[in-house]
Structure 1
Amino acid sequence: MALPLTGPISLSQVNTELGRATGTTISLGDAEVRGLAGVATGAIGLGALRGKSAQFTHTITSHQQELNLHTYLQGQGWDGTNKVEVTVASGIYIWSDTTTTPALDMGGVFPGGLTLVNRGFIMGKGGDGGYQLTDRTSYVAPTSGGPAIGLTGPITIDNAAGYIGGGGGGGAASTGSVLAFFVTPVHSPGGGGAGGGRGGAMPYGDTSSLVMGAFGLGGAIGQPGSVATNSNNFAGETIPSHGGAGGAGGAGVTTGGGL
């Protein structure tokens, strides 16, 4: 809460703004007080503290990919020391395109404390769906989803009006024989995990010339994934198959899912 712009102002109020305990010894020459006032040296009076706040507040109003919060906020004017309250506006997506990087990474230490008010969507990258290679024996397993938030210190999160979720794991491919005379099982491609995971692909062609089909792609922010389809010809038989679109969104926040 900022110090008053008009009316009485006291050093006791300054102590409170700085998060100090009641009764803590304070003077206008203290480094923290000068920092709050923005007067590094020279004469200083209570008037220099009017309207000043020890808390930096900012609202994120544009979509962000793989956001390093520490670096981002410094670019918005945060001094790297004061308490921070950052809000993700309604309808805003913070996401990742890789399962090895969180959608939102704190990125460093917040000495004054950090409060995150999320009214948007913070979502980790979904895992890729499983699929079979053209040799009809090698199987590429589905991958795990990535984290939503990477922590580097204490944080307070208000998620009452938002969504936070680690990426969903990719779906496993189903196994079966396309035709009765196939001895080697065929794996139908698995769907991608929520958060943009890629669906699996299906080999196609005849038994002497197999090629990989297209992969189902994860959707853009707020959109469903695409479905990759192809007409597969096995020994004269035409069998449709497809790579699955992204799965349903992951719910909530868990330690393994990014928080």
Structure 2
Amino acid sequence: MSAPVYEVFAIRVGANAQRTARENFLYDACCGDPNAPMPLDYYFWVIRNEQQVIVVDTCFQPATADRRNRQMYRLPEESLRQLDIDPARVEQLILTHLHWDHAGNLGLFPKATVHLQEAELRFCTGPKMAYRTVNKTYEVEDVMSALPPLFEGRMRLHNGMVEVLPGVTLHPVGGHTPGSQVVRVNTERGWIVLASDAAHLWVNIRERSPFPILDDLAQTLEAFTEIDRLADGEDHVIPGHDPLIAERFPRWNDDPHIICLHQPPN
């Protein structure tokens, strides 16, 4: 029996226009002029068909954007409503990891079952969070907001690959954080992989040149191989922060911040 087919949308929430190439690679080998502009976009994702709606990550809150000097285009809930999705009624929420730009709005989803790798929650509440070098990529309020779903019995802590629904699977890859996971989804154009921060940019994975924020270099490189294995082709890999996503894929209703990943690239 074939897997169900889903629509998948990248929702662009904001940007870091001041980013330079040297900041996007662990080493300078792939960035040419290290001082050249190389901005990042910030996304979360929606997976849906006629029966199901799944949200992947929750991006960041306005106060966090201000504090971290990030541009914010639109509140996540506003884009969801453009898609006729009420966040308060969403039943499935996947968190690829708990960094500040991926887990900032959990309170918008009071009924959702939350899917997270157990290794991520253990890490974020463990002794290494005492180090500023480690905790600066997290917001303590965001980590704390993961506790109500846990206490309410709405959190599913996974230890390995799992099927959330037929046609949607989670694959732990580590590397970027100890509990980072990617999402594989069946669409009308084949299996795509939402790589999230396992691959920030297409060039990171294509050149095997990692983004500099990582927990384990070897796991990061192995994650690139796993992502390529899971996806049906290079344009089926969706990196977590690449501005080219909004250029390569069609817009939904001509909205520049809602991009159709289930449709072939332009």
The structure with the larger Rg is: 1
Q: What TM-score bracket applies, with the shorter chain setting the length?
A: under 0.3
Structure-2-length-normalised TM-score: 0.23
> Which of the two has greater helix per residue?
2
* Structure possessing the higher relative contact order (Cα contacts under 8 Å, 6 or more residues apart): 2
TM-score (norm. length: structure 1): 0.24
